[in-house]
Amino acid sequence: MPHSLPGHETAASRTSDLLAQALGLLAGSRLAVLTGAGLSTDSGIPDYRGPTSVPRSPMTYQQFVSDPVLRRRYWARNHVGWRHMHRAAPNAGHFAIAAMERRGLLTGLITQNVDRLHSAAGSRQVIDLHGRFDEVICLDCRRIISRFALAERLEALNPGFETGPADAADVAPDADADVGATDSFVVADCQACGGMLKPHFVYFGESVPKDRVEAAYALVDRAGALLVAGTSLTVMSGLRFVRHAAKHGTPVVIINRGTTRGDELATVKIDTGVSGSLTFLAGALPAPAS
């Protein structure tokens, strides 16, 4: 087995050392966990900003509500992307976090993802910061309906429309799929009031509901450390919790492949794959101190 020259440690040994540091830092504390799209890449859902992601500009709330052409294009793409998203299964990282919760290691989980994979893996104390992709809301009467029910209506309104992307890499974390022509796609309105339907998650240009943010801050405040996994923290909705923890002297461990906006605030930053690291920590962390 080759040995590293002094001062020239391998990437694997560096990662191993950092994981050991993280383990020592987190051991004995109850943790708050913050996750992002990088955790779901092992489930076949590409992220927006990872090293291998294809650059794309997510639709803004203002575009969705003001432009009927863009809104039709979005629903056509979502109709296709939904097929892939709702079939995605949790990966080892999701199961590791659920196992930590069962062992009493967590105060709870904040996820920026809308894919519901944490819940599917068994996590119960979950704050879906940006909402859920399996629900749709009417912007007029505020009625919430199942995305499964809407899928049936869209299929009836658009028989023969493409039913799946050619490649899973063409589907974004919000179920936006890269498809062809959408001019003929028929959009469904609210059956209760005829109002505009929108996926029940936060678009760019929207604010996360205040009560959701407050609950997330409280979860971080109850924790002895914050574990961040699979997010570049590019948007403030997630970065604010890292800043909050650092401001109050709470240790922050960030695991993400690539740099993040929170790296300077991290007590330990590990640039590596997320699922394997979470699996290691879930198995190695002792029960928290009473």
Instruction: State how far the Cα of 109 lies from the Cα of 125, in Å rounded to an integer.
Output: 6
Supply the DSSP symbol for 177. Answer: B
| Active-site entry in 79, 84, 130, 200 | 130
Bridge partners of residue 171, in order along the sequence? 177
- Give the residue ranges of the annotated binding site for NAD(+): 36-56, 112-115, 230-232, 256-258, 274
Does residue 1 lie in a domain region? no
Positions at the binding site for Zn(2+): 138, 141, 190, 193
User: Residue 106 pLDDT > 90, yes or no?
Assistant: yes
d(CA 186, CA 258): 40
Q: For residue 84, what pLDDT band results from cuts at 50, 70 and 90? A: confident
CB atoms within 10 A of CB 166: 10
Across the range 117-132, mean pLDDT stands at 97
Q: What is the pLDDT of residues 49-79, one digit of tens each?
A: 544 444 456 789 999 999 999 999 999 988 8
Binning pLDDT at 50, 70 and 90, where does residue 8 land?
very low
Region for 217 from its dihedrals, namely left if φ exceeds 0, alpha if ψ lies in -120 to 50, beta otherwise: alpha
6 belongs to a structural domain:
no
User: Angle at which helices 147-157 and 68-85 pack, to 10 degrees?
Assistant: 120
Q: What is the pLDDT of residue 2?
A: 33
**pLDDT tens, residue by residue, 232-245:** 999 999 999 999 99
Distances from the Cα of 244 to the Cα of 18, 67, 109, 174, 272, angstroms: 23, 37, 16, 27, 24
Report angle CA 149, 165, 232 to the nearest 5 degrees: 90
Provide, rounded to the nearest whole percent, the portion of the chain with pLDDT above 70.
Answer: 87
Residue 27 maps to which CATH number? 3.40.50.1220
State the total domains in the chain. 1
More confident residue, 1 or 209: 209
Residue among 47, 32, 225, 27 nearest 126 (CA): 32
200 is an active site residue: no
In a domain, 290, yes or no: no
Rounded to whole angstroms, how far apart are CA atoms 113 and 101? Answer: 18
Enclosing domain of residue 104: 11-284
Does residue 202 fall inside a structural domain?
Answer: yes
Give a yes or no: residue 72 inside a domain.
yes
Query: Domain for residue 5, yes or no?
Result: no
Residues 6+ apart with CB under 8 A from 118: 35, 90, 94, 97, 98, 109, 111, 126
The answer to whether residue 86 sits within a structural domain is yes
Report pLDDT for 161.
80
The per-residue pLDDT for range 258-275, each reduced to its tens digit, is 999 999 999 999 999 999
Q: What is the mean pLDDT of the chain?
A: 88
Do the domain assignments include residue 152?
Answer: yes
Taking 3-state DSSP, the helix, strand and coil percentages for the chain, each rounded to the nearest 5, stand at 40, 15, 45
pLDDT in tens, 88-97: 899 999 999 9
CA contacts within 13 A on the Cβ side of 111 = 26
Give CA 19 to chain center in angstroms.
22
Burial tier of 196 (Cβ tally within 10 Å: 0-12, 13-18, 19+): middle
